[in-house]
Amino acid sequence: MTFITKWKTCGKLFLLSFILISFFTSSIFAQTAELLYNVESYSMSSGLHSGVTIDGGETFIAFTGVIRGSEAPWLRVYFKDANLGKNSFIIMRSVWDGKEQKLDATSIEQWQNSSAYFNGFQIEIELHVAAFDKDIFFTINELAVGEFYGDDILFFSICGPTDDRISSDQHATSRLMNIGCTSWIIPNGHFVSAGHCLDGSNSTVVEFQVPPSLPGGTPQHPGPEDQYSVDVSTKVFVNGGIGNDWGTFEVFPNSVTGLMPKEAQGAYWPLVQDLGPDSIRITGYGVDSGVDNQTQQTHIGPNAGSSGTTMRYVTDTQGGNSGSPVIDGLTGNAVGVHTHGGCSSSGGNNNGTSTFNSAFWDAVEQGSGGCPVEPASSPNPAHGATGVDINLASIGWVNGFDATEIEVWFDGSMVYSGAPVTSWSVPAPLAYSTTYSWRVNGSDGTCWTNGPTWNFTTEMDPNIALLFMDDFEAGPVNWTITTVSGCPWDIFQASEYTLPPTATGNVMAADADFCGSGGGGSTGDITLIAAIDATLYQTVWVEFDNDWQPIGTADFASLDVSVDGGTTWVNVFTWNDIDIRNTHEIWDVTPTAALSNVLLRFTSIQPAWDWWWAIDNVALYGSDPIPVELTSFAASVSDENVTLNWSTATETNNQGFNVERNAGSGFEKIGFVAGFGTTTETHSYSYNDNSLEVGTYTYRLKQVDYDGTFEYSDVVEVDVLAPDVFALEQNYPNPFNPSTTINFSLAADSKVSLKVFDIL
């Protein structure tokens, strides 16, 4: 028997034929119901923004806009790229229902550079930039645009002449998007679904509290506070047909609430091994007509002779029910996962995989009913956080429900075991630019639940500056391409090569293989158009992701640097016929490039139909900056006034100078003069200290960097002397109204009388 239906997905129209095989007296088929949608190109860019200290360090809204898709029931946004720094974030808000999602640097990565689903076809978007974050931006390149449903042909697996499903509100059962399946929470906080629902790239979002569909059957979505991004790295599944079709996976914390699903929903399905329940309930998100389409519904029917690894039941299901829990109608325990339809109006039964499938049972980590302790959640710092202070005081978390004992593991070692606590003091300082992993396990005294492994990466050494970076997402705009023969250097995709995971999207490659046997190989170079300013740094090095695959001794790859505008070049390395693949290269160029303006040149020599050289994330770093170089500091006296003068030859991150004076009881700050930040030009400064009493004064400068570090100058000393003769000066102004000033000086302390006469 053959059924044919059609739908749109990813902007293309497909015909899908289901060939149904005989089982007992009916046909059997998997029961997914993928959402109908198109993918449309879309262009929006926030531009680059950097934070400043505003209103005590609060964020400010640097960009606002409205994303408008084709008139549609829902949208999902795909970001081409984004940098959200340490504390900046994006707010997205549906114009249709006002539901919001917040994406920071961690959550946007967890959502795989996409958003949650938003109802309606317009989304307001705001970029909030935090103080001190630099070069914050996002770009959008695609939208998933939902389709309105019509009278599509649906596959039915209703057992008998009528559909007896009714609406349900079971909090542990969720809709798995975009594949259109059902998934559910188990005691350890993980999820179960059908293996064929996880076999592919379309199972990426879990939804709870699903609202009614539109009257024509078009699905609607809950707010982002009830949507969770699937951690695709945790998927474990088998798509082996009836009796061997199952899967498990985990999700990331909610990007709005920070909660895990078990914590937010307060529910899960216990699992047991039992083939003999009299009645079987199926609760899930099957297709239907009108507002009930792909919303949660349930039905209970008789067990139809379950055995071995297969559950059989005469319970109504539909497309979209794949992955539903197979529930003992009496106890409410899950005994399997629903996978295949088979019922018809004339008989048959629907089918699932039982918990007696040993691989399934082992994968859900249950034992006799499983450990009820929920995994720890809400890590602080957040999972995946970057730029974390090396003087981090502590890590924090929320313990799982029912935990009476915990273990804390940090950087591979158990650092705490005992009664539940919610933080642990970190032995500071941590290392710069280092990723630390940690987890919290929980026990109720009878069993243990291992918590998820979290990680954070500490800040870059402030002594290190990123002087240049090119990930080639904008193309080869920073480079001059010179081709001697064959294929030129060009933009390719990282997925075509064996590169480190940091290489994504566009890469630059000299790919002789791309041109084929008649292409003449690939010999040529790429040279930076503009020199990189490294004039302030005494240590300089180059980094890049690399895939060099030569074929013979005639193949060469080299990197050269120039500090005279390209007149002469110094070789950094030359590779020959040995594969150097999937590496992140770091090359010190200090002897040539320190304190200079630097050009880079990558050269590939592949004279025949050879392989390739692919590079990405080319960067130049500098460290050991030249400090503020004070070339002079002097003081001069005029009567009771002192003038301080000083000059600098170079400055690096110079916020300015505190002027300090010691009149005999210690130094105190008397003023501040702003610096010029980072500069190699000579700058002169002055400060006046006026109306001083007779005495000896010592001055010094406290030079302060933007990061708070400081350094003192040498001291200078001056004497403010008493006058050696009596003097009486002309008053000023004159004439005057209503006041005037008369200066006089005495050679020695004495009592004086000053009389003023009006001669008019």
pLDDT digits (tens, 9 = 90+) for 484-511: 999 999 999 998 899 988 898 899 999 9
Q: Would you say residue 27 has pLDDT above 50?
A: yes
With cut-offs at 50, 70 and 90, classify the pLDDT of residue 751.
confident
Give, rounded to a whole angstrom, the gap between the first and last alpha carbons of the chain.
127
Window from 19-28, 544-553, 601-610 with minimum mean pLDDT? 19-28
Residue 555 in this model has a pLDDT that exceeds 80? yes
Cβ neighbours for 398, distance < 8 A, ≥ 6 positions apart:
263, 376, 377, 378, 422
DSSP 349-406: -EEEEETTSHHHHHHTT-TTT---PPPPEEEESPTTEEEE-TT--EEEEEPPTT-SEE
The pair of structure tokens assigned to 585 is 């290269």
Residue 56 has a pLDDT of 43
Check: CB of residue 562 under 8 Å from CB of residue 545.
no
Residue 55 has pLDDT above 60, yes or no: no
pLDDT confidence of residue 320? 94
With 0-12 CB in 10 A as exposed, 13-18 as middle and 19+ as buried, what is 699?
buried
* Percent of the chain at pLDDT exceeding 90: 64
Give the model confidence (pLDDT) of 643-692 as tens digits.
Answer: 999 999 888 878 899 999 999 889 999 999 999 887 778 899 999 999 89
pLDDT (average), residues 161-167? 93
pLDDT for 209: 96
Residue 757 has pLDDT above 80, yes or no: no
CATH architecture of 629-720: Sandwich (2.60)
Report pLDDT for 490: 95
**How many angstroms separate the CA atoms of 293 and 157, rounded?**
15
Evaluate if residue 554 carries a pLDDT over 50: yes
Question: What pLDDT is attached to residue 133?
Answer: 80
pLDDT at 329: 93
Q: Which fold has domain 37-146?
A: Jelly Rolls (2.60.120)
Express as a percent the part of the chain with pLDDT over 70. 92
Tell me, what DSSP letter sits at residue 572? E
Q: Residue 369: pLDDT above 80?
A: no
Beta bridge partners of 18: 3
Closest CA to 489 of 604, 567, 391: 604
Give CA separation, 594 vs 126, 538, 584, 588, 599, in Å. 41, 5, 22, 10, 12
Q: Residue 721 has what DSSP assignment? A: P
Tell me, what's the pLDDT at 346?
86
pLDDT exceeds 90 at position 708: no
pLDDT for 24 equals 36
Q: What rounded mean pLDDT belongs to the chain?
A: 88
> Pick from 709, 710, 714: which is nearest to 631 by CA?
714
pTM to 2 decimal places: 0.54
The pLDDT value given to residue 220? 96
Q: Residue 36: pLDDT above 70?
A: yes
Place of tokens 């091994």: 273
DSSP line for 322-340: TT-EEEETTT--EEEEEEE
SS3 assignment, position 517 = coil
User: Do the first three CATH levels of 465-624 and 629-720 match, i.e. the same topology?
Assistant: no
465-624 belongs to CATH 1.10.1200.10: no
pLDDT for the residue numbered 1? 25
User: Residue 52, SS3?
Assistant: coil
Query: What integer is the mean pLDDT of 603-612?
Result: 90
Residues 6+ apart with CB under 8 A from 60: 51, 54, 128, 129
> Picking from 274-288, 356-370, 626-640, which range would have the lowest pLDDT averaged per residue?
356-370
As a whole number, mean pLDDT of residues 31-38 equals: 88
Find, among 338, 223, 217, the residue nearest to 280 by Cα: 338
How high is the pLDDT of residue 367? 35
Per-residue pLDDT of 430-441, as tens digits, reads: 988 888 999 999
Please indicate whether residue 723 or residue 211 has the higher confidence score (pLDDT): 211
For residue 402, give the amino acid letter: D
**pLDDT reading at 723 higher than 70:** no
Statement: 166-366 belongs to CATH 2.40.10.120: yes
- Name the residue among 747, 457, 468, 720 with its Cα closest to residue 593: 468
Query: Measured on CA atoms in the order 283, 287, 288, 290, is the torsion positive or negative?
Result: positive
pLDDT band at 357 (very low <50, low <70, confident <90, very high): very high
Q: Is pLDDT of 25 > 60?
A: no
Q: Once rounded to an integer, what is the mean pLDDT over residues 576-604?
A: 94
Give the number of other Cβ atoms within 10 Å of residue 445's Cβ. Answer: 10
Compare 605 and 87 and report the one with higher pLDDT.
605
Q: Sketch the domain layout of the chain as residue ranges.
A: 37-146, 166-366, 377-458, 465-624, 629-720
Q: pLDDT per residue over 275-323, tens digit each? A: 999 999 999 999 999 999 999 999 999 999 999 999 999 999 999 999 9
pLDDT at 152 over 70: no
- Section 125-130 average pLDDT: 92
What CATH class is the domain 377-458?
A: mainly beta
Residue range 67-89: mean pLDDT, rounded: 92
Average pLDDT of the segment spanning 451-476: 88
The residue ranking higher by pLDDT, 240 or 609, is 240
State both tokens at 526.
Answer: 């790429």
Q: Closest by alpha carbon to 274, among 219, 331, 315, 194?
A: 331
7 pLDDT higher than 80: no
State how far the alpha carbon of 355 is from the alpha carbons of 36, 246, 370, in Å: 33, 10, 12
Total count of residues recorded for the chain: 760
